[in-house]
Structure 1
């Protein structure tokens, strides 16, 4: 039996092994690639979902932080009001009215020799506001002779819109004035789209045609001349991504722009763009949006701008710093004309209007514009009084509209007088407070002879001895004891001394170091006789005089020393004004207010600040005290002050000087106004002035 042969063993072919190896590994690599692709797709979808949520959450819930804006009281024009033409011109300049021979549009005027044709702007306030109207104001010398409307009807009073005098900014110092798309001039939108995004209404967030056009333009120019980004992409960049230019940011910007267009209308995107875009810098304040830029560069509302001005705003989008019209007017002019030509080429307006617009100057107002005239010391008072009712975050972010009591003309006059009087006295500074006694309104407040200097507010924070301004409180305390004293009671103006509880001797002396002997109480006040007033205060009683100070409105602690009779009481100019306010109102005490109304950003009322006077002094007693203070002005220490006032003006008031002539004071009132003035040095040295 033969054994079967074993088959010959054969080595596997190398070719076949290689072939088998490739065949078995291909499915493995494919699976890896598919898995990687799936992961990328999932991550991409998750990223898109995240970007989509980010876009919608920010766009729908975003609320710009808007500063509270503070406005002066409306200026009233009426027949008989004293208003020199120079003051009227100053007022129109402050309100950014522009000259127009026909005064066709709101915010324009035309002067003739004896008349002013004025087209007012409309506004709303708690009294209903005023409609825009065209008026003829007759002028006769330094007075308004008549106010007539367009139909020839004589008007009793017309109010001009209030001037914005300041704002309370958010922490990041962005500022903007919001405008609705239907409020924006159509010409602005047309020029914007012609220059920045011609296919805005056709694309879906990105424009391949625009990118190609920008690429060709840049190749022809040999530099980056056009960016190719749509308005939607620009909004995404400004709203979400910041200004840095990186590839990663661009890769995020494109899908976000598409997502934004998927969820929101073109009108919503365009309106947000108009309010968000950055257009310049005012010190630490960033100028955002077309509405604020119109005020900042031209001192007018966006609706009042002409075509050449709108073109300049559009031109600034390319580089607000590089094309800054105040620092680089030639660059700004060239860029403006480029915008105008582009708008003409795309049919926005004809060649005639192009020529007219290009012939116009830039018309830029000085930095900040008259519409943002700064009154920092008064704004400081407003801020402090608002802080009682509104948190700081609300004031800095919710766009509150604050109507204040400030009288612009009174404020400017007070600033000018203080600066002129102290102009030659480098070390001496001062403060002025002007009020309307019957209303409790602060009409003007100056805390530094450098009116725009926002440092130490002397009107509110310079707490100094009030000197002889204290003496009416002694007279009031005496008059409130009618069984013992009357205004003609004789008091002794002679030397005496008082031993104090600590053993020291107090010896009051008169300013002239002389004594006049017996004299009526009214003369003791008018002539400011220290010895007579001090003796009267001791007779009345220290406690009664302290009570009289508080009755007049002094809230600070009054020390229990007889030297308070002669003014060793430290008050700020503002608190001293409160004291004289009570006298001027016939004994009615009310807090001085700087605010009348507060509105939200939509103009809906949030709060009013009505006056609530309290009768704290008998009217007859208050009248006698007023009469005595008039004698002080006509026959006493106030005679010099009377010579500086218009005649005939019946003024009641009192001068005051602290020891060593460190402080000089004057408080006086007549008719509808009260003024308090203080001079002093911050180092508390001799001023060289006496009250």
Structure 2
């Protein structure tokens, strides 16, 4: 089974047999001739059995009792590979002969040869010449040299014993036999033979040529395909699975997540080398620089032997320090490459003390490293940098809000480090990332974005606990009366609690369940308003997608299409889409695709033995029905289009803030760092839990919803804080880890790549909203057009009816025309 991105890049492959199916015309003629020369010279002449070869084999058996003599034609070998065993018995040989004759009646010679060259076992779990070329030489069949073709052609006789990885000497001897036969029948000349026979055996085991690194996605696909088709079909019939993943976006997601973890790690200090191979003591000298007294240092060969036993992790490479100067370090990598670590790649490495504390900034490299240390290094901006394996974890997931297609997903720093997929399996407290959903409920229960709430401390006595509950803002700054739009953008905790009280806990929980959140994950107390609920990143981003798509709950999915080895569509995903104007009508009728029965299927029908997963008794048949007429499925609308627009618009204030900086009333939202994107179509929200254990950042454009989580796998461990770092300046300013500081940078890095070159896509207000000029301080109507006022959106009937600083004045609407009847035109705009 091969797994691909939506744009055709290979993600992974699974199964006991490696196969790369090829058409006969895609194989080099010389490779075909090599197989014919050694396996069946008269292939195109005999009727499926070679009478001369059979009599020769029978003579050997009669005279010696030795059954090892061959005589099987390529057609006979094909019959044995499909339907029989390799046991050396006369009964098996007789069956083989009759099957071969029947196959020759059904298929052409070229069909038989193509099946044989694609099916033959060639060792190291490779089946067929395409897989063998990749496994042994890391090449396609068209890149093979003559001697490499001969090695592959020599394998069918004994693939386990003759393959060049198992035994170079056996492979060489067999290769020379094949080259001799090729020379005898004239497919190569003497010069080519001499050159090929002298070629060294350079084969080594090559893994699958992965072009898109997405191991967490590959594992999700593997599990889903096994559930749908069963293990036998999933692993053995050559399924090709196309996912929803965009390869460029996936690469950007992985890079953003890893770089963000490196940055967090550097803020918190260097935890020291992996190992100390020999001891080095710094000794002061009369010269400008001190030196090291090294005790039994390793020779270069010993260092290389040690490094060859180490493994790399992602882009971290093991290295051994050999020389240290004041601002430069020399180290050796596996393979013998000598590298230099300059001061820019070292100066971050003050010592880690705890998650809350770091030592003073180092002044020289002597305070960081010494000869004999086994360290980890990585390249950044073409320069080497001291590094370390991150201890913090992270996840990032991006979905298309219109249909739920997952475009990018990374479940951790490294799949080889941990197969736990934090994007889909880790339920963590979401902190202030819950607030857009709380405010959405408030808008459903009479509040508006201009409603004034009291941003003041809360003190509530708990009779059961015997203590007072005193939730605080973070930071503990209180603005007094504040509009709901501004409170959401600034992430005011106490306002969120007051809104929950106004809506009611039951109404709030019912509203949150509309976004797909399970009731069991929603605590039935006021901490819900602060994000004590626990969701996975995938669950959370699905909820945010509702605000991006006009109020529809889409279902995330990863598999777009499953094809059989010969290209037949076995499964085509038909997602429910978010669409305000769509109707549920069938797609244009078309004739079902009729695929000709190929040679392999004919052989299966020959013995009434269809491929696993395609017979009428297999559960997979329920998936086959999707190929044909499909109806457009609509995702359920869980909130109104007006509600989703209002929350999405309010979340743009989290990025761009409000007020007037020139007049001293300007303010920033918690996502102000996204202003560097220079886009007005981005809505976003930070999230941080108590004691900085979980940090989140979720945001969206009209076409993409993205969530990032950062924390430790140990839910009791805090991300802590970073103290001021004199060497790094503003790059590593002091402060506690939070959603804006710890998770936002990964989101920003990802979106800088993903949105590059794409114009901003502004969403027009839906029908049924009014834009009314209000006073920014009171939320009431305003006749002023200066910095004290701005337009705000309202559902009809929810607009303020009083002007700031004046008596109550009603606004009425003509229901038939939906137009204002009293307020001046510049004061209100209808959509």
Q: TM-score, normalised by structure 2?
A: 0.54
Question: In the alignment, which residue of structure 1 is the partner of 2:674?
Answer: 642
Residue deviations 1:28-70, cap 9 Å, x none?
Answer: xxxxxxxxxxxxxxxxxxxxxxxxxxxxxxxxxxxxxxx4x33
| Pairwise CA distance, 1:515 | 3.4
> What is the alpha-carbon distance in structure 2 between the residues aligned to residue 326 and residue 419 of structure 1?
35
| Pairwise CA distance, 1:400 | 3.8
Is residue 673 of structure 2 the alignment partner of residue 631 of structure 1?
Answer: no
Match of 1:560 among 524, 530, 538: 524
8 Å Cα contact 1:377-1:454 kept in structure 2: no
Show the 5 A alignment for 1:41-60: none
Is residue 738 of structure 2 the alignment partner of residue 690 of structure 1?
Answer: yes
| Pairwise CA distance, 1:662 | 1.6
| Pairwise CA distance, 1:291 | 3.7
Show the 5 A alignment for 1:285-434: 286-297=125-136, 310-317=149-156, 320=159, 339-340=178-179, 342-350=181-189, 367-371=206-210, 375-383=214-222, 390-391=229-230, 394-423=233-262, 424=265, 426-434=390-398
> What is the alpha-carbon distance in structure 1 between the residues aligned to residue 204 and residue 705 of structure 2?
35
8 Å Cα contact 2:537-2:707 kept in structure 1: yes
Is residue 93 of structure 2 the alignment partner of residue 71 of structure 1?
Answer: no
Question: In the alignment, which residue of structure 1 is the partner of 2:413?
Answer: 449
8 Å Cα contact 2:711-2:719 kept in structure 1: yes
Question: In the alignment, which residue of structure 2 is the partner of 1:97?
Answer: none
Match of 1:657 among 688, 701, 713: 688
Match of 2:482 among 519, 541, 544: 519
Match of 1:599 among 541, 563, 568: 563
Residue deviations 1:489-515, cap 9 Å, x none?
Answer: 333232232648887754322233443
8 Å Cα contact 1:553-1:582 kept in structure 2: no
Match of 1:277 among 109, 112, 120: 120
> What is the alpha-carbon distance in structure 2 between the residues aligned to residue 631 and residue 351 of structure 1?
79
Residue deviations 1:443-484, cap 9 Å, x none?
Answer: 111112014557211111011111111011111111223x43
Is residue 708 of structure 2 the alignment partner of residue 677 of structure 1?
Answer: yes
Is residue 11 of structure 2 the alignment partner of residue 165 of structure 1?
Answer: yes
| Pairwise CA distance, 1:528 | 1.8
Residue deviations 1:96-148, cap 9 Å, x none?
Answer: xxxxxxxxxxxxxxxxxxxxxxxxxxxxxxxxxxxxxxxxxxxxxxxxxxxxx
| Pairwise CA distance, 1:630 | 2.0
| Pairwise CA distance, 1:663 | 1.2
Q: TM-score, normalised by structure 1?
A: 0.64
| Pairwise CA distance, 1:402 | 2.6
Question: In the alignment, which residue of structure 1 is the partner of 2:730?
Answer: none
> What is the alpha-carbon distance in structure 2 between the residues aligned to residue 357 and residue 319 of structure 1?
21
> What is the alpha-carbon distance in structure 2 between the residues aligned to residue 514 and residue 565 of structure 1?
18
- 3-state SS, counterpart of residue 449 of structure 2: coil
Structure 2 residue ranges without an equivalent (≥5) = 61-67, 266-388, 579-634, 658-667, 721-736, 740-831
Is residue 458 of structure 2 the alignment partner of residue 495 of structure 1?
Answer: yes
> Relative to total residues, which structure has the larger helix share, 1 or 2?
1
- 3-state SS, counterpart of residue 422 of structure 1: helix
Is residue 35 of structure 2 the alignment partner of residue 196 of structure 1?
Answer: no
Show the 5 A alignment for 1:520-599: 520-555=483-518, 557=520, 558-599=522-563
- 3-state SS, counterpart of residue 418 of structure 1: helix
> What is the alpha-carbon distance in structure 2 between the residues aligned to residue 623 and residue 167 of structure 1?
42
Residue deviations 1:592-650, cap 9 Å, x none?
Answer: 2212233344323343323322433333332221222222234456447527x655575
Structure 1 residue ranges without an equivalent (≥5) = 1-66, 75-161, 217-224
Question: In the alignment, which residue of structure 2 is the partner of 1:668?
Answer: 699
8 Å Cα contact 2:38-2:178 kept in structure 1: yes
- 3-state SS, counterpart of residue 588 of structure 1: coil
Structure 1 residues 212 and 500: alpha-carbon distance in aligned structure 2, compared to 1, 3 A threshold: farther
Over the residues paired in the alignment, what is the CA RMSD in angstroms? 4.1
Please say which structure displays the higher CA radius of gyration.
1
Show the 5 A alignment for 1:462-481: 462-481=426-445
> What is the alpha-carbon distance in structure 2 between the residues aligned to residue 522 and residue 349 of structure 1?
80
Residue deviations 1:225-273, cap 9 Å, x none?
Answer: 99776545655665566668xxxx2545543443333333183654443
| Pairwise CA distance, 1:187 | 3.4
| Pairwise CA distance, 1:538 | 1.3
Structure 1 residues 332 and 530: alpha-carbon distance in aligned structure 2, compared to 1, 3 A threshold: farther
8 Å Cα contact 1:235-1:273 kept in structure 2: yes
- 3-state SS, counterpart of residue 669 of structure 1: strand
